[in-house]
Chain A
Amino acid sequence: MSREADETSRRSFLKTAGGATVATASITSLAGCGGGGDDTEADDGGGDDTQTEADSGGGGGDTQTLRYGRGAHSSTLDPQNTTSGEVAKVTNQAYEGLIAFEPGEAALTESLATDWSVDGQSVSVTLREDVTFHDGTDFTADDFIATYRRFVDEEYEYYFEDASVYGPFTLGSWIDSIDAPGDYELSITLTQEYAPFLRNLAMFTAVVVSQDAIEGDTDLDEAMVGTGPFELETLDNSNNRIQLTAFDDYWGDAPNIDEVLFLTRGQNSTRAQALVEEELDIIDGLDPDSMQIVDGSDTAETRTATGINIGYMAFNLSRVEAFRDRRVRRAVSLAINTQTIVENIYSGIATQADQPIPPALFGHNEDISPYEHDPEQAQSLLEEAGYGDGFSFTLTTFQNPRGYNPAPLPTAETIRSNLQQVGIEVEIDDRQFSDYLTYTSEGRHDATLAGWFTDNADPDNFCYALMHPQVESPEGQDWIDWGTEGFNTGNNAAWANAEFMDLVDQAQQVSDEGERAELYQEASQIAHDEAPWVYIDYADEVRGVSTGVSNYVVAAIGGPYLKQVEVE
């Protein structure tokens, strides 16, 4: 850097320090924004400056920009290369699936499919016509087939070697074959009757990619060729930001905004501050402290929606003999004051949990209520089970906050002190998340704090994914050895209750939602009574939204829905 430039820096510094308002400058974003002359009013003096808005001086276009602030940048733009929700926030703007979630609800709605029907193992889908991809090609059934094959079919020339686990998890394990009887018709045969299948089609990872892009030389880690309302303008990995612009040939209603910027602010408080100072329009990932910053301002507010997630502590029945006794598990559930954890530690941004299925989903059993904090009853249950003198175990936890557990270490500390009162000694074993995942997936924990965000807003995604061993349950016991071949390590309690498993298996194969709900309610009651987990919380979805933003719906699944958002 030259002396001259440094002089400029100091001059600039002194100028701003002097309180002078820095000149307004018109710039044209080099990245295009076709149509020429998107005039941008920039105030260099205040923080992360730019307030993009109409240039009152007339001239160029009237660019409406929405700045979405988040905690981490996308590690890829390829929805088949990730399980990260952070990636989905961006890909959901550019890609669409056959089916979508209603904004802010768990119900399904049309997207690239206009009609569908399920008959046993056969699924028929009618596709929308006159839909264009961002690369100008028309959307047909072949695009879906190419997308599907790229994800799961190793025979396919363009099979994606690095495909994420969602390939088999959501589609591959359930689809036997796909045919296209016509350009706009799909006929899918499933490997078994599987009720959650349609919901899997609505997941961010099942979106349709242009066949031309798949079979051409497009690098889908850095480009998005979908049919969504926004298309990629700039991927700026050097500055952790992504610029999307409205797609002119979108089949549906055009977005209300011209441009979306995904900006990264790693620290929650910095992000909240940036929102308050009107450098961002919407932010996510708020903790109680950053919520206070937002709520204390008159430029932004927090908005919440019931989340579709759960935070819990799982007993490892495969490892700790004491936990194989239901009375011990219930005693621990009674001894831990989850109400205090939720109200005091999570500062009210969560509700107390009582069963595996969150309240926003069908199948949630309204008749169940959380275990009351009752150390005396806990003590008597322990005595009854022969553990009156107590015992000890290690509680494994991740260190950093996660959506379903905003404060893992204080949670673990509370559990430790609560259980001390009934004679149970707890040693806390906190680990970095990647280490935690490795450790618990190998079943080395005695008990672990854990949690889950829904993938597809289906109760099966909680009951089957987290509480079902996915192998035969051993005769006469309700737990399974961790080393059993094919065991679902997502079931970190190693719980294998035959009655529960039977209900969940049945619910997978019934298509009527009312009937499924009854089966899950029954399964939930068993999961509550048997207590393989201490149910801690269902966390709210919290967003910080600028007062200038309207029509924004906080969604627990899918989204963020930015197409209909308006910015003042």
Chain B
Amino acid sequence: MVSKQFLVKRLLLLFPVLFGVATVVFAILHLSPGDPAVTIAGERASQEFINEVRGDLGLDDPLWQQYVRFLGDVAAFDFGQSYQIQRGTPVSQILANRLPITIELALLGEVAGLLFGLPLGILSAVRQDTLTDHLTRVGALSGISIPIYWSGPLLILLFAQFLGLLPTSGRIGSAYFVETQTGFILVDTLLAGNVAAFRSAVVHLALPVVVLGIYQMALISRMMRSSMVEVIRQDYMRTARAKGQGEKITIMKHGLRNAFIPVITVIGIQFGSLLGGAVLTETVFEINGIGTLLVDAISRSDYPVVQATVLVFAVLYTLVNLGVDVTYSVLDPRIEQ
């Protein structure tokens, strides 16, 4: 089992990581061209007005002062207010609205990847070097090779524009207004008891989830296959078979659990890249999660939003990896920290 000491140590490590990320983001933003004061003030503004805005935002203070103030605010969980995306709204509130959207998408993508990836990987391993195996492997290779910004528009073209079966963008039909309770559209529509809205959300999320899931599925099935192939050859598997245990039970009970460990690593690491993938998917499908938020904020010089969003990405990534480490030791108690 996981020791408390390990958990505390890992959680404490989060601080230097976040400090590093915060510093890098701050530096990149302030080194990049474009002055938020000019963007906020707009084309009509006089230099005097721009200077006033700059002064109000503290952007004319020396950089080190801005940096210290930024770190102090972050330490107090104060991310400031949005300059542009939602003028004057606290960034924490914007993130609280947007984060569930991305998490829902990433989770659905992961579930879709697991749902198809695991069985395909196992099947491929058990039927090694058969036609099924070859087909699965070719499929997986293609899945890994196709980038989201290509598969997304392609699927939109096919299912939305050519066949007209699925919507091109958004996550719910325009006429459905459902009260936000959890931020997860599928859950909220169900909580509201609105079946039609739920169905609309499912239809809207189908394409983005498939796009995200394809890559996950491909990766998981490849990993599962190679891991399983190795485990199948282990002595304990032979022993189990020799004791007369059925093939199915041997594979599912002894094989799967051991083969799972490297797959968990991949799932964990990939969940991070899934968040990255969500940035692309959200942009392609015009879904309003933290991916599109980040892209919008960068292009509109909305410093507070960019800083907070990147930090949230860093926290999520670190926590997911911590979760992966914890899962290891549950699956294989021999792994000690």
Within 8 A of A (CB), among B65-110: 84-89, 94, 97-98, 101, 104, 107-108
B45 in contact with A29 (CB, 8 Å): no
B42 adjacent to A164 (CB under 8 Å): yes
Minimum C-beta distance from B101 to chain A (A)? 6
Smallest CB–CB gap between A313 and chain B, Å? 16
**Cβ contacts under 8 Å, A12 to chain B:** 199, 202-203, 206
> Given that A221-B86, A238-B98, A432-B299 are contacting pairs, would A49 and B202 also be in contact in the complex, using a CB cutoff of 8 Å?
no
Least CB separation from B179: chain A residue: A30
> Which residues in A have their C-beta under 8 angstroms from that of B173?
42, 44, 48-50
8 Å CB contact of A437 from B38, B165, B167 = B38
Q: Which of B115, B167, B176, B195 interacts with A29 by CB under 8 Å?
A: B176
Q: B170 to A45, Cβ gap below 8 A? A: no
Give the chain A neighbours of B50 by CB distance below 8 A.
441
**Chain B residues in 8 Å Cβ range of A221:** 86-89
- Interface residue tally on A, bucketed by range: 35 or more
Task: Give the docked Cα–Cα distance between A26 and B115 (Å).
Answer: 33
Is B38 a contact of A438 with CB atoms below 8 Å?
yes
A50 with B42, Cβ < 8 A, contacts A9-B209, A30-B192 known: no
Chain A residues with CB under 8 A of B33: 431-432, 435, 438-439
Q: Return A468 CB to nearest CB of chain B, in Å.
A: 13
With a CB–CB cut-off of 8 A, which chain A residues contact B34?
432, 434-435, 437-438
> In the complex, what residue of chain A is closest to B52 when comparing beta carbons?
A165
Best-buried of B86, B94, B186, B192 by chain A (most CB within 10 Å): B86
A186 within 8 A of B: no
- For A167, the closest partner residue in chain B by CB is B49
Instruction: Give chain A nearest CB distance to B213 CB in angstroms.
Output: 10
Q: Does B112 contact A (CB under 8 A)?
A: yes
Asked whether A177 is an interface residue with its Cβ less than 8 Å from the other chain, the reply is no
Within 8 A of A (CB), among B151-201: 160-161, 163-180, 183, 186, 192, 194-197, 199-200
Q: Which residue of B lies closest to A32 (CB)?
A: B177
- Is B14 an interface residue when CB atoms closer than 8 A count as contact? no
CB distance from B95 to the nearest CB of A (A): 12
Residue of A nearest to B159 (CB): A17
In angstroms, how far is the closest chain B Cβ from the Cβ of A417?
Answer: 27
- Residue pair B44, A270 in contact (C-beta under 8 Å): no
* A72 closest partner in B (C-beta): B296
B205 interface contact, C-beta 8 A:
yes
Interface residue from B35, B112, B166, B171 paired with A438 (Cβ < 8 Å): B35
Cβ contact of B196, chosen from A25, A238, A261, cutoff 8 A: A25
Q: What residues on B are CB-neighbors of A44 within 8 Å? A: 173, 196, 199-200, 203
Query: Which A240-283 residues have C-beta < 8 A from chain B?
Result: 240-241, 243, 261, 263-267, 270, 273-274, 277, 279
CB neighbours of A489 from chain B (8 A): 46-47
CB nearest to B299 among chain A residues:
A432
A77-85, A137-145, A223-231, A334-342: which lies at the interface: A77-85
Q: Which of B45, B171, B176, B206 is A27 in contact with, Cβ under 8 Å?
A: B176
Interface string of A178-220 (1 = CB under 8 A from B): 0000000000000000000000000000000000000000000
Query: CB of A455 within 8 A of chain B?
Result: yes
Task: Name the prevailing secondary structure of the B interface residues.
Answer: loop
Chain B positions within 8 Å of A3 at CB level: 115
B177 touches A234 (CB 8 A): yes
Please indicate the chain A residues that have their CB under 8 angstroms from the CB of B196 in the complex. Answer: 25-27, 42, 44
Which residues from B are CB-within-8-Å of A31? 177, 179
A117 within 8 A of B: no
User: A residues 35-54 with Cβ under 8 Å of B?
Assistant: 40, 42, 44-50, 52
Q: Is B30 an interface position by the 8 A CB rule?
A: no
Contacts of A25 in B (CB 8 A): 195-196, 199
A238 to B85, CA, bound (A): 12
CB distance from B202 to the nearest CB of A (A): 5
Choice from B186, B200, B286 contacting A49 with Cβ under 8 Å = B200
Contact B177 A29 (CB under 8 A): yes
Q: Mark interface residues in A147-190 (1 if CB within 8 Å of B CB, else 0).
A: 00000000000000110111011000000000000000000000
- Is A76 among interface residues, defined by CB-CB distance under 8 A? yes
Bound Cα distance A441, B44 (Å): 10
Bound CA span A552–B62, Å: 53
Question: A residues within 8 A CB of B84?
Answer: 75
Cβ–Cβ < 8 Å partners of A441 in chain B = 38, 47, 50
Interface pairs A-B: 3 shortest CB-CB: A25-B196, A50-B175, A83-B42
* Interface CB pairs A-B, < 8 A, 18: A6-B111, A6-B112, A9-B202, A16-B203, A29-B177, A50-B174, A67-B174, A238-B101, A238-B288, A243-B177, A264-B286, A265-B286, A432-B33, A438-B38, A438-B39, A455-B44, A465-B44, A490-B46
Which B residues form the contact surface with A (CB < 8 A)?
Answer: 33-36, 38-39, 41-50, 56, 84-89, 94, 97-98, 101, 104, 107-108, 111-112, 115, 160-161, 163-180, 183, 186, 192, 194-197, 199-200, 202-203, 205-206, 209, 286, 288, 299-301
Beyond A49-B203, A76-B88, 6 additional contacts (C-beta under 8 Å) are: A5-B202, A42-B173, A83-B42, A165-B45, A169-B44, A243-B177
